[in-house]
């Protein structure tokens, strides 16, 4: 909670959070695609 507004630390916290969000989203999409393919084939 000590990151001042507009500082490098402030923006890097958001960058890390956004990166983790994107990573989670991509992993979910890939796993859904794999599960869908697996269901259709068997």
Question: Phi first, then psi: what are they for 7, rounded to 5°?
Answer: -85, 170
User: Residue 40 has what pLDDT?
Assistant: 80
CA distance 28 to 30: 5
Range of the domain at 12: 1-42
pTM: 0.66
What total number of domains does the chain contain? 1
According to the model, what pLDDT value does residue 20 have? 98
Helices (H), 1-42: 8-41
Quote the distance between the C-alpha of residue 4 and its chain's center. Answer: 25
Chain-centre distance for alpha carbon 9: 20
pLDDT per position as a tens digit, 1-42: 678 888 999 999 999 999 999 999 999 999 999 999 988 876
């Amino acid at each position: 909670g000590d990151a001042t507004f507009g500082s490098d630390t402030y923006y890097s916290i958001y960058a890390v959070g956004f990166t983790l969000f994107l990573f989670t989203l991509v992993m979910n999409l890939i796993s859904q695609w794999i599960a869908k393919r697996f269901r259709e084939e068997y």
